Structure 1
Amino acid sequence: MSTAHLVVPGTGPVPVTYTDSGSGRPVLLLHGGAGPFSVAGFAALLSAADYRVIVPVHPGFDGTPRPAGLTTMAGLAAVYASLLRELGLTGVCVIGNSIGGWIAAELALTASGMPGSPVSSVVLVDAAGLRVDGAPVPDFFSLTLDKVAELSYFNPDAFRIDPAAMPPERAATMTANRAALLDYAGTGMADPGLRDRLPAISVPVLVVWGAADRMIPVEHGKAYADGIPGAQLRMISDAGHLPQLETPAELLAAVGEFTAVTWQPRQGGPRS
């Protein structure tokens, strides 16, 4: 783990904990509300597939500090744009799951209006952030862990968590992560104005969705793909809200096909 001490416009000093693994095409991998462990295995797959993978911990998750003024996805997007610049990276593909996808959408919007942005493409994996009529997002904060599994996975039994068997430190981390998630996303997990802003995105975007996702329904994936000019939608039949856990090989293949077309050689700066 490394820590970057950033000074972010509009927020001020922000320490960001992150891992940096592999070499090759640069990827920023953003976790969802489940925390950084939910993307760790996929980060290892990407690293083995000739990507350089930066995985930050959203400030406030896993015991990391969060400045009082950092409470929005747009704010997190600004933090990660600063992190990429601090690392000297360009031509970065941002991959985000759930709220990480929401942050990735904000980064895509920023990159589209900023010449020289470090972000060149985005993959939205079962991304939160939209409000879609007729396809409401459940109130995550009112759900039991068992219900979260039912809504999140194609095969819930493989991922159920028994609270009684959970180590106390893990339970405390989950509680703190839920509090940070609530501060960032609210109970609605959406920005009512985001959908209207999507047409301004001009960087290449791939939308990947687990067909069994009942946490963020498939209609949200279709809304992202329909709202972003040129966006592709790829469905994964045997996955729910977290394809990187249920079908990592299929998600890796989708990312590989996308970046093979969109990645520009000689980009991706040196390690700092």
Structure 2
Amino acid sequence: MTTHHTIALYPDLPITLAESGTGRPILLLHGGGGPATVANLAAHLAHTGHVIAPTHPGWDGTPRPDWFTGIDDLALAYLHLLHDRRLRDVLVIGSSLGGWTAAELAVRDTAGLITGLVLIDAVGIHVPDEPIKNIFALDPRTLADHSWHAPDRFHIDPATIPAEQLAARQANLATIRVLAGDPYMHDPKLLRRLTRVHVPTLLLWGESDRIVTPAYGAAYASALPEGRLELIPEAGHLPHIEQPQATFALIDAHLKA
């Protein structure tokens, strides 16, 4: 059973949370596509842990105060959430922009609350020879071609999307621009800071991802003292959607280890 509620993390920053399951706390962070993109992952993880899945401020119509302008704000907000809830032995899992947020959380976790990371096709670092594809410069079809192994299965013509849903997507993109538009999708300081993150870290990467390539994922893994990269065949930027069983199996094995 999933419960949805909103907390006032700061006086002017409400955070909407979806919680399910019992056991080890798992903070699940969605990417730019919003919370729906990690819903199947939340359902799977709830069988073995207590999943806390926030909706990032500014996504899906949730409020974002004017001062909330960077991924560092997002990371600190969730770190404060962990402190307020007095959580320990936390596993943080993030997809794409959520993976970047998870990494920023880990480098700021001086209290040692986080004991494991799973980064799924994460952005957030600068790799000179592997630039992050600029999603704002791509039309919907080209974006699908870069994001999916089988784009014909997942591409939706914007002309067929109801106006309300299309407006919500555009609002989400506007929030991404504010939080991650300049510098585009990365923190220039993050790569060197990752050397201080001494927790087991599984990096899952779709072999067909052309937003951030597997070579980009390899550079991410190399920067983490306990990083390990696993490639998922026939998957793009969201392997937990294209190849859920393969993705779940790798995460389950990581948790057991």
TM-score by length of 2: 0.94
What's the C-alpha RMSD, in Å, of the aligned pairs? 1.3
* Identical counterparts, % of pairs: 43
Q: Aligned pair 1:163/2:162, yes or no? A: no
Q: Aligned pair 1:228/2:224, yes or no? A: yes
User: Per-residue deviation at 1:118?
Assistant: 2.6
1:14 maps to what in 2? Answer: 13
User: What does 1:13-52 align with in structure 2 at a 5 Å threshold?
Assistant: 13-47=12-46, 49-52=47-50
2:7 maps to what in 1? Answer: 4
Which one of the candidate residues 241, 246, 249 is aligned to 1:245?
Answer: 241
1:74 maps to what in 2? Answer: 72
1:134 maps to what in 2? Answer: 129
Q: How many residues matched?
A: 253
Specify every segment of 5 or more residues in structure 1 that has no aligned partner in the other structure, as ranges: 262-272
User: Per-residue deviation at 1:260?
Assistant: 1.5
User: Per-residue deviation at 1:6?
Assistant: 0.9
2:146 maps to what in 1? Answer: 151
TM-score by length of 1: 0.89
- The AA in structure 1 aligned to 2:9 is L
CA distance in 2, matches of 1:177, 1:105: 21
User: Per-residue deviation at 1:217?
Assistant: 1.3
User: What does 1:106-121 align with in structure 2 at a 5 Å threshold?
Assistant: 106-111=104-109, 114-115=110-111, 117-121=112-116
CA distance in 2, matches of 1:15, 1:83: 11
Which one of the candidate residues 185, 210, 226 is aligned to 1:214?
Answer: 210
User: Per-residue deviation at 1:170?
Assistant: 0.5
**Secondary structure of 1:137's aligned partner:** coil
1:266 maps to what in 2? Answer: none
1:104 maps to what in 2? Answer: 102
Structure with the bigger RCO (C-alpha within 8 Å, sep 6+) is: 1
Which one of the candidate residues 158, 175, 184 is aligned to 2:179?
Answer: 184
**Secondary structure of 2:185's aligned partner:** coil
CA distance in 1, matches of 2:185, 2:209: 15
Specify every segment of 5 or more residues in structure 2 that has no aligned partner in the other structure, as ranges: none
CA distance in 1, matches of 2:18, 2:83: 16
CA distance in 1, matches of 2:162, 2:83: 38
